[in-house]
């Protein structure tokens, strides 16, 4: 993908010198990150960590989307939330915490969730989307817009001590609807999980975003990494597009 | 023939195991295997793998690590390994 980079300052070079030495990245990759914008749908257990790692890496602009106020049950995993902010909007806490780490970045904190009504506008504002949302209706809305607008979409998910991640490149890889054609009937909003599980896959989601935006490595395009942290089993599964997918089958490249 | 079935997430919790073996007829196809899985474990598993018409819900499924195309489910063979990935999300 093409991201219009922004020139680095001496302060940038001082802050990012450890990652500027990464082969295949360098100053050109850092400039791309500085010029890039990322939408993170929900800054909960997954999204908090994705946002924190992207802030640390020097992404230029984050759009954080998450409705509601901080509840006690958020605090086992939502690392952008703080105890003293209980009862206040999640995105306000997240923005404050991220700006403590990186005051140079721009953050749009939007206290709403992705819907069919706002997905076009919100996806249209960024270069890449990271899906950390719990509800399939939100995820499907994001997927539809990401495919329609040709924006990469990093998909992160978790349950108990398990998680998986894949990166959707519209027209090249399966989209979310190829993997799950319909809303799963037995899916429940609340599920068991540790913060260390969401943190693990959240870091991987941030790394995928950095790779796609910074132009290094091999993103999980058409592949899904699954992990079970109960026994530390990691597998990579090859994914295939659904030739009858109502969302992406009109795009003709095959992975 | 013997088929190994692996489960993830909710399915692992509801079956109480990460994998198990099914002894099935050589004519058994994937929809029939899903019915056998639901039959062994009852409604908590049935509601994930079968719809109201007892046809397979199109969960993410792999046969020998190759993703199943539900438009043309593959034939099963002795020793096949089926991985059924229960849908999961963020949060």
Q: What is the pLDDT along chain B (91 residues), one digit of tens a residue?
A: 999 999 999 999 999 999 999 999 999 999 999 999 999 999 999 999 998 888 888 789 999 988 998 888 899 999 999 999 999 999 9
Nearest CB neighbour to A185, from listed B47, B85, B90: B47
Percentage, residues of chain A above pLDDT 90? 93
Could you read off the pLDDT of A65-124 as tens digits, one per residue?
A: 999 999 999 999 999 999 999 999 999 999 999 999 999 999 999 999 999 999 999 999
pLDDT band (50, 70, 90) for residue A253: low
Question: Does residue B91 fall inside a structural domain?
Answer: no
Question: Does residue A253 fall inside a structural domain?
Answer: no
pLDDT band (50, 70, 90) for residue A186: confident
For the cut 80, the answer to whether the pLDDT of residue A158 exceeds it is: yes
For the cut 80, the answer to whether the pLDDT of residue A138 exceeds it is: yes
Residue B85, pLDDT score:
94
How many domains, chain A? 1
| Closest-CA residue to B86 (of B57, B43, B53, B54) | B57
Residue A189, pLDDT score:
79
For the cut 60, the answer to whether the pLDDT of residue A254 exceeds it is: no
Instruction: Note the pTM of the prediction, 2 decimals.
Output: 0.95
Q: Do A134 and B91 touch (CB under 8 A)?
A: yes
Structure tokens at A116: 């069919």
Q: Which domain holds residue B49?
A: 2-85
Q: Which domain holds residue A174?
A: 10-238
Minimal C-alpha gap between A11 and chain B (Å): 35
Which residues does B contribute to its contact with A (CB < 8 Å)? 8-10, 12-13, 18, 47-48, 51, 57-60, 62, 65-67, 69-71, 83, 85-91
CB-CB neighbors (< 8 A) of B12 in chain A: 162
Could you read off the pLDDT of A9-68 as tens digits, one per residue?
A: 999 999 999 999 999 999 999 999 999 999 999 999 999 999 999 999 999 999 999 999
- In order, the DSSP letters of chain A are ------PPPHHHHHHSHHHHTSTTTHHHHHHHHHH-EEEEE--SHHHHHHHHHHHHHT-SEEEEE--SB--GGGTTT-TT--GGGTTSBHHHHHHHHHHHH-TTSEEEEE-S---TTTHHHHHHT-SEEEE--S-HHHHHHHHHHHHHHT--EEEEEEEBTEEEEEEE-TTTS--HHHH-SS--TT--S---B-HHHHHHHHHHHHHHHHHHHHT-S---BTEEEEEETTTTEEEEEE----TT-TTTTTS----
Question: Does residue B50 fall inside a structural domain?
Answer: yes
Structure tokens at A63: 């759009």
Minimal C-alpha gap between B74 and chain A (Å): 14
Question: Does residue A136 fall inside a structural domain?
Answer: yes
Question: Does residue B90 fall inside a structural domain?
Answer: no
CB-CB neighbors (< 8 A) of B9 in chain A: 159-160, 162
Across the range A238-244, mean pLDDT stands at: 93
**Contact assessment for residue A207 and residue A216, using Cβ atoms and an 8 Å cutoff:** no
Q: Do B10 and A186 touch (CB under 8 A)?
A: yes
Question: Does residue A245 fall inside a structural domain?
Answer: no
CATH label of the domain that carries residue B19 = 3.10.20.30
Q: Do B90 and A164 touch (CB under 8 A)?
A: no
How many domains, chain B? 1
Q: Do B90 and A242 touch (CB under 8 A)?
A: no
Residue B76, pLDDT score:
95
């Amino acid at each position: 993908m093409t991201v219009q980079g922004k020139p680095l300052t001496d302060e940038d070079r001082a802050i990012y010198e450890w990652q500027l030495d990464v082969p295949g990245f360098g100053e050109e990759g850092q400039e791309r990150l500085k010029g890039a914008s990322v939408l993170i749908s929900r800054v909960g257990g997954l999204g908090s960590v994705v946002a924190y790692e992207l802030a640390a890496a020097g992404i230029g602009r984050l759009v954080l989307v998450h409705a509601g106020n901080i509840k006690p049950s958020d605090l086992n995993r939502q690392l952008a939330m703080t105890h003293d902010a209980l009862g206040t909007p999640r995105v306000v806490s997240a923005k404050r915490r991220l700006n403590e780490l990186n005051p140079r970045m721009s953050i749009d904190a939007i206290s709403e969730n992705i819907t069919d009504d706002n997905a076009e506008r919100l996806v249209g504002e960024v270069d890449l989307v990271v899906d950390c949302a719990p509800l399939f209706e939100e995820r499907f809305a994001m997927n539809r817009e990401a495919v329609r607008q040709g924006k990469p979409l990093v998909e992160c998910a978790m349950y108990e001590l398990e998680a998986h991640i894949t990166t959707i490149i519209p027209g090249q890889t399966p989209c979310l609807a190829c993997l799950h054609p319909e809303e799963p009937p037995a899916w429940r909003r609340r599920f068991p999980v540790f913060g260390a599980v969401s943190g693990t896959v959240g870091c991987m989601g941030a790394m995928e975003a950095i790779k796609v935006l910074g132009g290094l490595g091999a993103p999980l395009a058409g592949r899904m990494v699954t992990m079970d942290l109960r026994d530390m089993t990691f597998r990579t599964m090859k994914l295939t597009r659904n030739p009858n997918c109502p969302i992406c089958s009109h795009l003709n490249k095959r992975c | 023939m013997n088929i190994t079935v692996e489960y993830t997430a909710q399915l692992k919790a509801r079956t109480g195991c990460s994998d198990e073996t099914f002894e099935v007829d050589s004519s058994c196809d994937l929809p029939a295997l899903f019915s056998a899985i639901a039959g062994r474990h009852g409604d908590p598993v049935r509601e994930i793998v079968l719809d109201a018409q007892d046809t397979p819900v199109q969960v993410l499924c792999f046969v020998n690590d190759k993703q199943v195309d539900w438009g043309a489910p593959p034939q099963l063979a002795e020793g096949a390994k089926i991985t059924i990935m229960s849908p999961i999300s963020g949060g």
